[in-house]
């Protein structure tokens, strides 16, 4: 087989065989196919697409490019959750302990922030001592004893995705539905969980901007997972404004704790409940009703059991439990400044990508691979889509430390608020469920 022919066939819109797809992925990972040929191949896929069968074989070839995690000896229904990336998205911190309290086993591999989106590991590391650096044995033992563990991806998990993603990032081929589906599902299927709930973000702050595209991506990922024998449900959720009020690592941990104590913002609570209900329906083979499942989810939050489980998870992963029991001990910024509206009107949108980038400029995310995160800084969003404002009203709070000039970040956040004269309806969070 020749790389040239595979590229040409895809360029001409022909369907690729499983062998041709494996040949490309394996050859690229081994260094036998150079970057320029892989880039041309990715661009051909971007323009000509891939059908479901090709996307399944691409996912499978990518997932087999490195280690597979089998999760032996875990008793109970094992489940994972994945979000396609959002701003202010601290859902995993709440969902993991909720599901563990409901008797499910949550073996979750998480990542660090990517571009304007935050990462679960960065958030958890705002808790002093917390480590996601677990061996496979520590990971499995923690899932068995506590019901939930959150670990970082090991070096050799799906190396094909690391190499291909790096090329997509610089060749304008990230926003291709089959390439996104294969990238996400190769990582999710490399670990042998039985169930998977996907949170597909749609809107200005997401990789996918339109509802029809999000539906197509969701359906594709659900099918790929099912073909591999997993139970998969995708929730489509709105990312035209940040999730919850807090953006920034320690601020988000604090909001997750509030939510686990039953005092979280209503949108975060709604998303957690929806994802948890779907995971519980998967675990029970849909032998309970949606309403019963939702009721159980509410009970473990209201009773405080889910919060207790979070404390146990923090303890087992080396974190300072005192910070969780008393969130005032989490890193806090030296100064809080208000961001004031300069015009009056109704808030139409809060452009999330801009909000994420503004938070990064303040020190909450990495500008380069080697940047050091300041866990204390970030924003509290006070005015949301649908609210009306007068000039001088406080839109958000800026939590900052004196080592950085906050002005560029504040200017960017102000520009992210799109305010107009027409009345605006508040956004619905859950746009669809695909299972
Ligand atoms: N997240 C991923 O892991 N991969 C993509 O391609 C897009 C979002």
- The 10s digit of each residue's pLDDT in 137-184 is 999 999 999 999 999 887 789 999 999 988 998 888 988 999 999 999
Closest Cα to residue 68, out of 153, 168, 176?
153
Residue found by looking up tokens 């691979």 in the block? 369
Which DSSP letter does residue 395 get?
A: E
Spacing, Cα 183 to ligand 1 middle (Å): 6
- Arithmetic mean of pLDDT over the chain: 94
Nearest CA to ligand 1 atom 1: 84
| Residue 263 burial class via C-beta count within 10 angstroms: exposed 0-12, middle 13-18, buried 19 and up | exposed
Kindly report the number of other CB atoms within 10 A of residue 91's CB atom: 24
Q: Which atom of ligand 1 is nearest to the CA of 165?
A: 6
- Give the residue numbers marked as catalytic: 82, 161, 168, 183, 187
pLDDT of 435 higher than 80 = yes
pLDDT of residue 114: 66
- To test the pocket of ligand 1, the residue of 50, 59, 84 to mutate (highest count of ligand atoms within 8 Å of its CB) is 84
Centre of ligand 1 to C-alpha 172, Å, is 13
Closest approach atom of ligand 1 to CA 174: 6
Q: Which atom of ligand 1 is nearest to the CA of 184?
A: 3
Q: Are strands 335-340 and 394-400 parallel, antiparallel or unpaired?
A: antiparallel
pLDDT at position 426 is 83
Pocket test for ligand 1, best of 158, 162, 165 (most atoms within 8 A of CB): 165
Determine the pLDDT at residue 170.
Answer: 85
Looking at the DSSP bridge assignments, the partners of residue 394 are 340
User: Residues 316-327: pLDDT tens digits?
Assistant: 999 999 999 999
**And the tokens for 352?**
């999330």
Does the pLDDT value for residue 308 go beyond 70?
yes
- Ligand 1 centre to CA of 372 (Å) is 23
Which is more confident, 205 or 8? 8
Ligand 1 center to residue 363 CA distance, Å? 23
Q: Among 85, 164, 171, 185, which residue has the most ligand 1 atoms within 8 Å of its CB, making it the best to mutate?
A: 85
Beta carbons within 10 angstroms of residue 372's beta carbon: 6
- 149 Cα to the center of ligand 1, angstroms: 22
**CA 106 to ligand 1 centroid distance, Å:** 21
Which atom from ligand 1 is nearest to the alpha carbon of 168?
Answer: 6
Query: How many angstroms separate the alpha carbon of residue 208 from the centre of ligand 1?
Result: 10
CA atoms of 315 and 175, how far apart (whole Å): 39
- DSSP reduced 3-state for 208: strand
pTM of the model: 0.93
The answer to whether 99 touches 279, Cβ cutoff 8 Å, is: yes
Residue found under tokens 């859950």: 430
pLDDT at 103: 96
Q: Which residue lies with its CA nearest to atom 8 of ligand 1?
A: 84
Q: What are the pocket residues of ligand 1 if the criterion is a CB atom closer than 6 Å to any ligand atom?
A: 84-85, 174, 180, 183-184, 207
Mutate to test the pocket of ligand 1, among 207, 214, 218, 224 (most ligand atoms within 8 A of CB): 207
pLDDT in tens, 326-382: 999 999 999 999 999 999 999 999 999 899 999 999 999 887 777 889 999 999 999
Grouping H, G, I as helix, E, B as strand and the rest as coil, residue 333 is coil
The residue with greater pLDDT, 330 or 206, is 330
Name the residue at shortest CA distance from atom 6 of ligand 1: 180
- For residue range 40-70, what is the model confidence (pLDDT) as tens digits? 999 999 999 999 999 999 999 999 999 999 8
């Amino acid at each position: 087989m020749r790389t040239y022919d595979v590229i040409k066939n895809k360029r001409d819109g022909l369907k690729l065989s499983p062998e041709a797809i494996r040949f490309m992925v394996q050859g690229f990972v081994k260094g036998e196919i150079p970057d320029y040929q892989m880039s041309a191949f990715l661009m051909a896929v971007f323009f000509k697409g891939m059908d479901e069968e090709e996307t399944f074989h691409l996912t499978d070839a990518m997932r087999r490019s490195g280690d597979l995690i089998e999760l032996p000896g875990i008793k109970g229904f094992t489940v994972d959750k994945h979000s396609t990336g959002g701003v202010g998205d601290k859902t995993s911190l709440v969902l993991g302990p909720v599901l563990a309290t409901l008797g499910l086993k949550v073996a979750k591999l998480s990542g660090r922030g990517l571009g304007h989106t935050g990462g679960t590991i960065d958030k958890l590391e705002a808790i002093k001592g917390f480590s996601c650096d677990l061996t496979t044995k520590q990971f499995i033992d923690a899932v068995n004893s506590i019901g939930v563990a959150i670990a970082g991806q090991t070096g050799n998990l799906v190396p094909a995705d690391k190499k291909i993603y790096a090329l997509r990032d610089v060749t304008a081929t990230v926003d291709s539905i089959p390439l996104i589906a294969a990238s996400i599902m190769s990582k999710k299927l490399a670990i042998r969980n039985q169930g998977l709930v996907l949170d597909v973000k749609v809107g200005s702050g997401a990789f996918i901007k339109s509802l029809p595209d999000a539906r197509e991506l969701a359906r594709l990922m659900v099918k790929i997972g099912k073909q591999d024998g997993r139970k998969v449900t995708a929730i489509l959720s709105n990312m035209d404004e940040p999730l919850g009020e807090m953006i920034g690592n320690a601020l988000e941990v604090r909001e997750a704790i509030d939510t686990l104590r039953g005092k979280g913002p209503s949108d975060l609570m709604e998303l957690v409940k929806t994802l948890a209900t779907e995971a519980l329906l998967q675990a029970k083979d849909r032998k309970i009703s949606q309403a019963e499942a939702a009721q159980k989810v509410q009970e473990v939050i209201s009773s405080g059991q889910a919060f207790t489980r979070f404390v146990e998870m923090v303890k087992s992963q080396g974190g300072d439990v005192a910070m969780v029991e008393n969130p005032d001990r989490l890193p806090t910024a030296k100064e809080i400044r208000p961001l004031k509206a300069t015009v009056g009107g109704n808030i139409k949108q809060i452009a999330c990508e801009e909000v994420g980038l503004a938070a990064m400029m303040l020190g909450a995310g990495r500008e380069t691979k080697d940047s050091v995160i300041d866990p204390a800084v970030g924003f509290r969003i006070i005015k949301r889509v649908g609210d009306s404002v007068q000039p001088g009203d406080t839109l958000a709070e800026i939590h900052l430390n004196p080592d950085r000039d906050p002005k560029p970040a504040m200017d960017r956040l102000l520009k992210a608020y799109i305010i107009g004269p027409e009345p605006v309806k508040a956004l619905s969070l859950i746009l669809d469920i695909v299972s």
